[in-house]
């Protein structure tokens, strides 16, 4: 698993104008936690990608379908982790995703991924009108990296309510896997690699978990 280290914002400073996991709802208002809140976890904020990664050219990436749902281009978004986040970290009640959010790439920098995938950033993208989310492929709650090789624009489908959008369905998978890791039923590394390879494979289990009262 090759390591790709990034200085927090320097490497991508030339790409100003990119979003994060959410813009208005892409969670842009949730900033990285103050150091004193997260220092107990020893977070390094470095990306270890799950495959060799080079920054893509605009328009060179495309999503594909798996089980009828979009997954990112593995050349452009292989997924990545912050190896300083352990299972013990995730089980700690004090753990919050804000300890990783925007710690390596800013909200503005993340917007470049729209260009990589040839997607026009929606003008209205908040509340019930949200159609895209700039998604951490390996989610932050599972120790996902904040580097750009772990970010992709997850958009659509049209004509459905907000809770039926693809990024909301993936949220179910993220919550399901995080709870499985916390309960010791799935190793953290297995969950990280599995969701990076194909998040849709877990959707049936996540839907059952949601229907049974789990976090949706």
What is the dihedral angle through the alpha carbons of 85, 48, 34, 36, rounded to the nearest 10 degrees? 50
Q: 138 in helix, strand or coil? A: coil
**What's CA 68's distance to the chain center, in Å?**
20
Strand partners, 132: 155
Residue 49 contacts residue 145 (beta carbons within 8 Å): yes
Q: Hey, where are the domains in the chain? A: 13-159
Omega of the bond prior to 157 within 30 degrees of 0, cis? yes
pLDDT tens for residues 101-113?
999 999 999 999 9
Strand partners, 49: 80
pLDDT tens for residues 21-52?
333 334 433 444 344 478 899 999 999 999 99
Q: Is 7 exposed, middle or buried (0-12, 13-18, 19+ CB in 10 A)?
A: exposed
Whole-model pTM? Answer: 0.82
Cα distances from 196 to residues 13, 34, 162, in angstroms, run 26, 28, 23
Predicted confidence pLDDT, tens digits, the chain (216 residues): 444 444 333 333 333 333 333 333 344 334 443 444 788 999 999 999 999 999 999 999 999 999 999 999 999 999 999 999 999 999 999 999 999 999 999 999 999 999 999 999 998 888 888 999 999 999 999 999 999 999 999 999 988 999 999 999 999 999 999 999 999 999 999 999 999 999 999 999 999 999 999 998
């Amino acid at each position: 698993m090759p390591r790709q280290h990034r200085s927090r914002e320097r490497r991508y400073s030339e790409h100003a104008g990119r979003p994060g996991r959410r813009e208005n709802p892409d969670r842009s208002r949730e900033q990285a936690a103050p150091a004193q809140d997260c220092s107990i976890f020893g977070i390094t904020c470095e990306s270890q990608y799950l495959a060799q990664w080079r920054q893509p050219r605009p328009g060179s990436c495309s999503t594909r379908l798996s089980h009828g749902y979009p997954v990112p281009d593995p050349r452009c978004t292989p997924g990545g982790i912050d190896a300083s986040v352990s299972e013990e970290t995730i089980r700690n009640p004090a753990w919050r995703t804000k300890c990783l959010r925007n710690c390596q790439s800013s909200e503005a920098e993340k917007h470049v991924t729209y260009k990589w995938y040839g997607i026009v950033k929606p003008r209205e993208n908040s509340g019930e009108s949200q159609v895209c989310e700039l998604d951490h492929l390996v989610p932050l709650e599972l120790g996902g990296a904040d580097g750009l090789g772990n970010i992709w624009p997850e958009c659509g489908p049209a004509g459905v309510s907000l809770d039926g959008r693809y990024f909301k369905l993936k949220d179910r998978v993220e919550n399901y896997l995080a709870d499985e890791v916390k309960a010791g039923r799935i190793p953290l590394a297995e969950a990280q690699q599995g969701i990076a390879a194909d998040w849709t494979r877990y959707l049936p289990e996540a839907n059952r978990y949601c229907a049974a009262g789990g976090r949706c």
